[in-house]
Amino acid sequence: MKYKDYYSTLGVERTASADDIKNAYRKLARKFHPDVSKEAGAEEKFKEVSEAYKTLKDPEKRKAYDQLGSHRSGEEFRPPPDWGQQFSQGGFSFEDLDLSDLFESLATGRRGGARSGQRAGLAGQDYEVTAHITLEDAYNGSMLDLNLTAPEYDAEGRVQRVPKSFKVRIPKGATEGQRLRLPGKGGKGMHGGRDGDLYLNIALHPHPLYRVSGHDLYLDLPLTPWEAALGATIEVPTLAGPVALKIPAGTRAGQKLRLGDRGLPKPHSGAGDLFAVAQITVPSVLTDRERALFKELSEASSFNPRGHFAGQFDGEKSHAH
C-alpha cells in the first residue's frame, strides 16, 4: 500500500489542533472545490484535500492514521501487525488497497457494516468522469472505451480497488458541457441496494475549422474582395461533406451566412445551424497585373468606406477653435 501524507496535503504539522486542521481544509477547499474553481487539476487536488480531511477530522481515524507511522508520500508500506485488530475488529487484506479505502472500511466497520449483521439496502456510489470527444464523434455518435479503477465493497464489507472497463455508445447530439448517464455502472449496491450510476461530462476537443456554441457551429469563411463585391458560389466544408454556398454580392466582413440544420444534431430531433462568418482577405503578394488592376479600380471607384468619419473631423476642428 502506498503511503499518503495527509498532514502535508493539508499543509499542517502532525501536532496540529483540530481547529488548525479545519481551518487549513476550509482554505484549501475554497481554493480547489470543483464547483467554484477553474484551476487546472483542481478537482484532483480537492479529492486529495477532502480525503486527508475526512481522516484527520475524526479523532479515532486520526489516531489510527498516526499509528501507521510517518513515511514519505508514495512510499510502499505495511501497517503494523496488530493495527487491523486494534482499529477494525480484524479482517483487512492490505493488497491492492488504497489508504482512503482503508479508512473508509474502518468507518463502515464502525457504523456496523456487513459484519455486525446490518442488512439494510445501501445504494452504490455514483461516479463521474469527463469524456473528451471530437466534433466528428459528437456529430456521428461514437463508441468510447472507458477504463476506471473504482472502490467496491465485498460481501464482508471490505473495500477493494476493482478495475472496470466499459465500451460506451455516445449517442449523436452530444455537445460541450452535456451530461450523459450510464445507469447501473457506478459502484455496486450492498444488501439489495441499487447499483450507482456513472455520469459522463462531455468535453469537445477544439476543432481546426469549427467553433461550437451549443449545437450551432461557426466557420470562418475567407473571401477574396471580388467574391465579396460581385457575389460567388463557393464550396464550404460541413460535417456532412462539402456544400455549395451562394455568396450574395456586396457581402461585408463579419456577416454571417446561415446554413440551416448543418450544425450538430440535437438529442431527440432537429439540428443546430452552421454559420459561415465572412472574412475578406487580400493577397499578401501582388503580381504586376493584379497591382495594375487594383490601381485602376482605385482610380475608377468613388466608394468611400470612411464617409461617416468626415463629420467627426469637422466637429473636432470647430471644437478646437
Partner 1 sequence: MRIEVTEAVWIEESESLVAARIASRLQEDLELDAHAVAVALALIERIRRLEAELRDLKARSPSP
Question: Which residues would be at the binding site for partner 1 (CB under 8 A)?
Answer: 26, 29-30, 33, 35-36, 46, 50, 143, 165-171, 176, 178-183, 185, 199-200, 211-214, 216, 218, 220, 253-254, 256, 267-268, 275, 277, 279
Q: Which is nearer to partner 1, 119 or 252 (CB)?
A: 252
C-alpha cell at 269: 430531433
**Min. distance of Cβ 224 from partner 1 in angstroms?**
16
Q: Which is nearer to partner 1, 218 or 294 (CB)?
A: 218
Helix (H) or strand (E) holding 256: strand 256-259
Q: Which is nearer to partner 1, 1 or 182 (CB)?
A: 182
Q: What are phi and psi of 217, to 5 degrees?
A: -120, 145
Q: In which residue are the cell numbers 479482517 written?
A: 91
**Min. distance of Cβ 268 from partner 1 in angstroms?**
8
Q: Which is nearer to partner 1, 214 or 315 (CB)?
A: 214
Burial class (CB in 10 A: 0-12, 13-18, 19+), 16: middle
- How far, in Å, are 99, 185, 191, 296 from residue 194 at the CA level? 26, 10, 9, 79
What's the CA gap between 3 and 74, in Å, rounded? 5
C-alpha cell at 80: 503494523
Q: Which is nearer to partner 1, 92 or 139 (CB)?
A: 139
